[in-house]
Amino acid sequence: METSRADSQMTPSEWRIRLGKVRAAMAERRDPKSVRDWILWAAFETDSLIAQYYRAFGEDLDSDMAAASYAFVEDGDLEKDEGSYYLRRLWRVLLRKYAFRDAWVLDKTLCPLENGLWRCWRRKDLLLWRLAMGLFAGHVILWSSSGLLAFLDLVQWRLHWVVAVGAFSLFVVFALAVVDVQHRVGRRGWPVIFGRAALIMGIGVFYATVFGIAIYVLASRLAQCYGPHLLKSLLVASMALVLGFVFHLFWQEGSLGDPL
């Protein structure tokens, strides 16, 4: 790439000048080759100075990737399949960083390059299936622990304990999500980090609640009047939420947003 020599010698001030020129070109949708080379280095060559400066200075690489999508379809020197390949890789990078808004912007450029079935298959990863599977595993483990269930039998009748367990679970999950997001986006502003962490936590709460209610309904039907209390099912769901995050973030290097 043309950027390779400059990347090995670029100072921060030179990088900022180049970044300004690239963003000006993206705003006017011109010079697709230079824009494309810059974005490929920033997105995929994570050890390069271009990528490291993005992280160190907290610049918005995610929006730049979305804005540069035109450079992969409006260049006559680039084959359609090659442009589609690079855009799909950028899509994966954005999902790993939980940049769902920017991924959706890039999706508008990528959609015409793929058929309907593959488009649906790619978009499924917006639902964070890895998180859903981690929460399901957490429910299985917790419901198989007789000692924990006996403890919850006592806790479920004390409202302050129910609130405390739920609040503690949310606090731990949010803290883990903040750490994971910051690790992936670098020194972006805290509103960005907190916003993405809250979104991940919200999706996790949704899955945990759905699994908890589903287990409660199923167990109640199978056991007739001797099924679990709804509060107990929700307590298990809140603890499974913590386990789901812990399983993934401490035993895997990948992002919860990694496509399946």
The per-residue pLDDT for range 98-145, each reduced to its tens digit, is: 999 999 999 999 998 888 888 999 999 999 988 888 888 888 888 877
81: how many CB neighbours lie within 10 A of its CB? 9
Task: Answer with the one of 100, 125, 150 that is the final residue of a domain.
Answer: 125
Shared domain for 205 and 154, answered yes or no, is yes
Q: Is residue 256 part of a domain?
A: no
Shared domain for 160 and 246, answered yes or no, is yes
Provide the pLDDT for residue 226.
46
Shared domain for 145 and 226, answered yes or no, is yes
As for how many domains the chain has, the answer is: 2
pTM assigned to the model:
0.86
Q: Measure the N-to-C terminal CA separation of the chain; round to a whole number of Å.
A: 30
Q: Is residue 240 part of a domain?
A: yes
Note down the domain range covering 15.
3-125
User: What b/e readout covers 188-206, taking b as 16+ CB neighbours within 10 angstroms?
Assistant: beeebbeebbebbbebbbe
Task: Answer with the one of 96, 125, 154 that is the final residue of a domain.
Answer: 125
Q: Is 10 strand, coil or helix?
A: coil
Residue 156 is encoded by which pair of tokens?
């479920």
Query: What number is the average pLDDT over the span 144-163?
Result: 75
Q: Is residue 61 part of a domain?
A: yes
pLDDT for 3 beyond 60:
no
Q: Is residue 223 part of a domain?
A: yes
Is-contact 43 90, C-beta < 8 A?
Answer: yes
